[in-house]
């Protein structure tokens, strides 16, 4: 976490990794988000928690799409958890809101 509020951390929940993203996901660090998601997928299913994301641009969306595609090709679970309004708006704009599995909380995501 730095002064921008941008942060990306992961938490192992036993075969399921919760990646928490917060702040404004843009080109300046979306690569880090991407790397974190792909790394987490190496350890199991992944849920990306987005409730504290105030902004996301196409490079951030691209990171999510890449994670989603990697999970499918490796037969792992992948979902978005508690996506904030700004994230949902952009997903809708990109017509991806029906593509990602979306969950209200981490518990639903883990049992899905």
Partner 1 sequence: MNAVPLAAAGGGERHALRFLAELSQALAQSLDLRETLDMAVTRIADFMQAEAASLFLLDRAGLIECRICVGPVDITGLKLAVGQGVVGRCVADNATQIVRDASCDARVNVRVDAETGFVTRSILCTPLSNARGPIGALEVINRRDGGLFDEDDAEILRLVAAPAVLAIGNAQLAHGLVEQQRIKRELELARRMQKSMLPRRRRGDFPIRGVNLPAHEISGDFYDFFDLPDGRLAFVIGDVSGKGLDAAFLMVRVASMLRWVGAHAPAPAVWLAQVNAELCRTAQDGRFVCAAVGQYDRASGTVALASAGFPPALLHDGKAFEELPADGPPLGILAEADYGEREFTLGARALYLFSDGATDVRTGASDRLGEAGLRGLIAGHAALMPEARLRAVVGDLKRLHLVDDTTLLLLQEPCGAHAHTLLDLEFPAQSAQMRSVRAALRHALDAQGVAPELRDQLVLAVDEACTNVIRHAYGGECTRRIALHVARERDMLAFELRDHAPTVDPASLKPRDLSECKPGGLGLPFIAMTMDDWKLEPAADGQGNILRMHKRIDFGDKE
Q: Give φ, ψ of 12 to 5 degrees.
A: -80, 125
Interface with partner 1, residue 93, by CB under 8 A: yes
What is the CB neighbour count within 10 angstroms for residue 89? 13
Report how far residue 57's alpha carbon sits from residue 61's, in angstroms, rounded to the nearest whole number: 6
Among 28, 39, 43, 104, binds partner 1 (CB under 8 A): 28
The interface region with partner 1, picked from 13-21, 39-47, 66-74, 76-84 by CB under 8 A, is 66-74
Interface with partner 1, residue 65, by CB under 8 A: yes
Interface with partner 1, residue 52, by CB under 8 A: no
Report how far residue 44's alpha carbon sits from residue 75's, in angstroms, rounded to the nearest whole number: 10
Report how far residue 24's alpha carbon sits from residue 86's, in angstroms, rounded to the nearest whole number: 10
Interface with partner 1, residue 102, by CB under 8 A: no
Residues near partner 1 (CB under 8 A) are 4, 24, 26-28, 55, 57-59, 61-63, 65-66, 68-69, 86, 89-90, 93-96, 99
């Amino acid at each position: 976490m730095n002064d921008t509020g941008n942060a990306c951390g992961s938490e192992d929940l036993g075969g399921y990794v919760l990646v928490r993203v917060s702040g404004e996901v843009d080109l300046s660090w979306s690569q880090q988000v991407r790397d974190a998601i792909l790394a987490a997928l190496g350890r199991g299913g992944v849920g990306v928690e987005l409730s504290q994301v105030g902004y996301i641009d196409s490079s951030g969306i691209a990171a999510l799409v890449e994670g989603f595609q990697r999970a499918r090709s490796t037969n792992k679970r992948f979902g978005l958890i508690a996506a904030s309004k700004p994230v949902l708006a952009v997903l809708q704009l990109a017509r991806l809101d029906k593509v990602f599995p979306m969950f209200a909380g981490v518990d639903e995501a883990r049992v899905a």
